[in-house]
Structure 1
Amino acid sequence: MARTALSREEVLETAGALVRQHGPDALTMRRLAAELGTAVTSIYWHVGNRESLLDALVERTVADLSAITPRGRTPAARIVSVARALRRELRARPHLVAMVHERGLTERMFLPAQRVLAHEVHAAGLRGAKAAEVVRAVQFQVVGHVLVERNRERAPVQSPAEEELWAAASPGPAGSDLALARALAAPVDTERLFTTSVRALVDGLLGSRGGSAGSPDQ
């Protein structure tokens, strides 16, 4: 028996979960109605047709990415915290982010994070073109890292794999560095690698103005 009580928020939450897990093609009104235990007509009543539903999911995604709050005791640390939070949000909803991009709203999606970054860059004493350069550099670092991660995850199985190639400590200048070879033979800790790289970037761009960005383990 179809349920009678249903909210627009519940419809969007369930639709968003379907897209996150299976991609936009998996989102049909019939499947969504089955997930919610309701009639298709009830879905239409709350969100309109499928295109209207996708538009609402895009707006919801944009709103979700506007809720990033900086944390830390220094401008540099807070900038790094924003970068880490933005990466997590993008990683958590790749299909939804792709939908935002396809609808030409990418810049709008990133605007709240840019504003937070600009505030912290101003707190570090930078203005104008130099401040804009820092904001852009951090944004590009986040997006670039996420794209590389996604590409590695979707790539076909490599044979030999990076771990196998380095396991034998290949000849040449790096061959005598067994610790390096062992480290490169281990799986990549992408979270730590991102944090290390973004902290180095922020420290290099802000110098002494931004204070410490923290250690890679924080």
Structure 2
Amino acid sequence: MPRTALTRDDVLDAAAALVRQLGPEALTMRKLAAELGTAVTSIYWHVGNRESLLDELVARTVREMGAIAPTGRGPLDRVLSIARAQRRMLRDRPHLIAMVHERGLTELMFLPAQQALVHELHDAGLRGARAAEALRAIEFHVIGFVLVERNRERSPAQSPAEQDLWDTATAGHDPALARALAAPPDPERLFTTTTRALVGSLLCV
């Protein structure tokens, strides 16, 4: 079968995949051409030089983060869906998000998700300063949670490890608590629990 002609989106998809896996330093036009099985000149023809390519990856990331849409019936579920989507996208794109931040576009990137949150907060009856405080609390929680997750994943091996520190004595003579704290945390469950508690208290539900 004849090979399908290379498109600009093909180049951007491959470049984004390389940055996600290895970081922007690993993205060279030669490596990208090798990944796509094409000539370097073809890459330049589709996306210009490397800086133009990086700029387009940043613009694309901003657009993707802006595509977050709520799901669910009530304000609580819809706010939770926005928070989950935002966390997932931040975790999936750490290098791309860092590139957005370096170009001073972080606030612009977060604006659509924040506007979606504002809509849900208004539907829940929050307006003015109360809505602003709720919005910031949710955003600080989501972004802070992701930062803690990444810090735990990248931290050097701890000695003593967390599971070695918790026993009946350190857990206030609560053996069930000691066992639970010695086990590795479940980030998905923890995020849902903490976000639901936070949003529920903000919406008074």
Q: Report the TM-score range of the alignment, normalised by the length of the smaller protein.
A: over 0.9
Residue equivalent to 2:57 = 57
Q: TM-score, normalised by structure 1?
A: 0.90
**Using the alignment, how far apart are the partners of 1:40 and 1:103 within structure 2?**
26
* Residues in 2 aligned to 1:85 and 1:102: alpha-carbon distance in whole angstroms: 22
Deviation of 1:130 (Å): 1.0
**2:182 maps to which residue?**
185
* Structure 1 Cα separation of the partners of residues 19 and 125 of structure 2: 42
What does residue 86 of structure 1 align with?
86
Letter in 2 for 1:91: R
Q: 1:197 is aligned with what amino acid?
A: T
- Alignment partner, residue 27 of structure 1: 27
Gaps of 5+ in 2: none
Letter in 2 for 1:159: S
Q: What CA distance in whole angstroms lies between the structure 2 residues aligned with 1:14 and 1:170?
A: 51
CA offsets, 1:18-44, max 9 Å, x none?
A: 000000000001000100111111111
* Cα distance in 2 for residues equivalent to 1:188 and 1:130: 32
1:69-108 → structure 2 map (5 Å cutoff)? 69-108=69-108
Partner residue in 2 for 1:199: 196
Counterpart residue type for residue 118 of structure 1: V
Question: Which residue is equivalent to 1:138?
Answer: 138
2:169 is matched with 171
Would you say 1:161 and 2:140 are equivalent positions? no
Indicate whether 1:121 and 2:121 are aligned: yes
CA distance in 2, matches of 1:152, 1:4: 43
**What SS does structure 2 have at the residue aligned with 1:200?**
helix
Distance in 1, Cα, partners of 2:109 & 2:85: 14
Aligned equivalents of 1:108, 1:63: Cα separation in 2: 10
8 Å Cα contact 1:4-1:38 kept in structure 2? no
Cα distance in 2 between the residues matched to 1:135 and 1:71: 18
Q: Which has the higher contact order (CA 8 A, sep 6+)?
A: 1
| Partner Cα separation in structure 1 for residue 8 and residue 128 of structure 2 | 43
Aligned length: 203
Amino acid at match of 1:171: A
Contact 2:19/2:27 (CA < 8 Å) preserved in 1?
yes
Cα offsets for 1:43-74 (capped at 9, x unmatched): 11111100000000001111111111211221
Residue by residue, what CA displacement relative to the aligned partner does 1:166-207 show, whole Å, maximum 9, x if unpaired?
Answer: 2xx1425x2421111111011110111111111111111110
Please, what TM-score do these two structures have when normalized by structure 2?
0.96
Aligned sequence identity (%)? 71
For 1:154 and 1:37, the matched residues in 2 are separated by 33
Structure 1 stretches of 4+ moved >2 Å:
none
SS of the residue aligned with 1:158?
coil
- 2:168–2:174: 8 Å Cα contact kept in structure 1? no
Structure 1 counterpart SS, 2:204: helix
- What per-residue deviation string (whole Å, max 9, x for no partner) do you get for residues 87-107 of structure 1? 000000100000000010000
